[in-house]
Amino acid sequence: AVNMSAPNMEERKACWDARDELWECLDRNSEDAAKCQHLRLSFESRCPQQWVKYFDKRRDYLKYKKKLENEGYFPPEATGKS
């Protein structure tokens, strides 16, 4: 669907549900996109393209943030100060 108008509430919910299912699948499968391809297609078909781009960026950001939290990365100027 190449409908450029803003999605209505039902469409938004369908998009978010598809996104959540995809993200859960990726979490369960250690980011193995191949195992979640069917959900990816569903996500892309239910969400406006710019949302897909936004959510992909958002997921990358959240993954990066989580990695930093898990690995405890500190910027260089924060080290060596007690």
Tell me, what's the pLDDT at 5? 67
Tell me, what's the pLDDT at 39? 98
Tell me, what's the pLDDT at 72? 79
Q: Break the chain into its structural domains and give their ranges.
A: 9-67
What is the full per-residue pLDDT of the chain (82 aa) written as tens digits?
A: 455 567 799 999 999 999 999 999 999 999 999 999 999 999 999 999 999 999 999 999 999 998 888 887 666 665 555 5
Q: Give CA torsion, residues 68, 66, 30, 32, to 10 deg.
A: -90
Tell me, what's the pLDDT at 74? 64
47 CB burial (10 A radius; 0-12, 13-18, 19+): buried
Report residue 3: phi and psi, to 5°.
Answer: -90, 115
Tell me, what's the pLDDT at 16? 97
